[in-house]
C-alpha cells in the first residue's frame, strides 16, 4: 500500500496484477511524509535501483494501525483515517481471473524442478486466496475505491491516473516478478473442469468487470 499525502492518493495492492511494479513507480514520486509499506528484499533492491523511496511511515504509532503489503480496503481506511480516505483518490488493479490463476501457478512453483499438476492446483485453496483481491477494493462487498485499473491495459490506464493526479514525469514500470512464467496463452492449461472452477471462485469479479475466458 502507498498513501501519498504529497499527491493525495492511496494505492491498494492486489495480488498478481503488477502491483509491485506500480508501487515502485509510485514510490519515485512520494514525499518524506508519505506511507510506503514493505515489499520483498529482492523487490526493495529493485526499487532502490529505480530511485524510489523505501518503506517509511507505515508503523503504528504514528498510524492508528500498522500498514502492510496487500492491505484490504477496510484496514487501509482504518490506517489512514476516514477523512483522508474520503478526500484522497483511491485505486487498485484487477486482472482476468483465468490469467491471474496461471500467473500465480508459475510464480508459486517457480523454484521447483517440476511443476505440479495444474488441474490439482486449481482445485486447491490457493486460488480462493487469490480471489481475496476483491477485499483490496471492496468493503462489505461494495466497491470502496475511486477506480479499479485493468491489468490488461495497465500502461494506458496508469498514464490516465498519472495525468489526473498531476504526478511528475511519467510512470516507468519496472519488470518485477515477471520472469517466472513462460510464453504461451493461459487458455492452453485449462480443461472444462478447471475453467469452471475459476469461474465459480471468481464469479463476482468476472461479473463486475465483464471478464471472459
Read off the pLDDT of residues 43-60 as tens digits, 9 standing for 90 and up: 999 999 999 999 999 999
The 10s digit of each residue's pLDDT in 92-116 is 999 999 999 999 999 999 999 999 9
Residue 183 scores a pLDDT above 80: no
For residue 177, what pLDDT is reported?
A: 63
Residue 178 scores a pLDDT above 80: no
The DSSP-derived string for 56-95 is BS-STTTSSS---TT--HHHHHHHH-HHHHHHSEEEEEE-
Stated pTM of the model: 0.94
Class of domain 2-209: alpha beta
Amino acid at each position: 500500500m502507498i498513501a501519498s499525502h504529497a499527491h493525495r492518493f492511496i494505492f491498494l495492492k492486489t495480488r498478481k496484477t503488477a502491483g509491485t511494479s506500480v508501487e515502485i513507480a509510485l514510490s519515485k514520486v512520494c514525499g518524506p511524509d508519505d506511507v510506503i509499506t514493505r515489499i520483498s528484499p529482492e523487490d526493495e533492491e529493485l526499487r532502490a535501483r529505480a530511485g524510489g523511496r523505501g518503506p517509511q511511515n507505515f508503523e503504528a504509532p504514528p498510524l492508528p494501525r500498522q500498514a502492510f503489503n496487500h492491505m484490504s480496503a477496510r484496514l487501509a481506511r482504518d490506517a489512514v483515517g476516514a477523512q483522508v480516505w474520503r478526500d484522497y483518490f483511491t485505486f487498485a488493479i484487477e486482472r482476468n481471473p483465468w490469467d491471474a490463476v496461471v500467473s500465480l501457478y508459475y510464480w508459486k512453483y517457480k523454484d521447483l524442478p517440476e511443476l505440479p499438476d495444474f488441474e490439482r492446483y486449481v482445485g486447491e485453496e490457493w486460488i480462493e486466496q487469490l480471489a481475496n483481491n476483491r477485499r483490496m477494493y471492496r468493503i462489505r462487498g461494495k466497491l470502496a475505491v475511486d477506480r479499479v485499473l485493468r491489468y490488461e491495459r495497465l500502461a494506458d490506464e496508469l498514464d490516465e491516473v498519472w495525468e489526473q493526479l498531476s504526478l511528475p514525469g511519467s510512470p516507468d514500470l519496472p519488470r518485477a516478478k515477471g520472469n517466472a512464467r513462460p510464453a504461451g496463452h493461459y487458455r492452453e492449461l485449462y480443461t472444462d473442469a478447471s475453467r469452471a472452477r475459476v469461474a465459480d471462485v471468481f464469479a463476482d469479479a468476472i461479473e463486475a468487470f465483464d471478464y471472459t475466458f
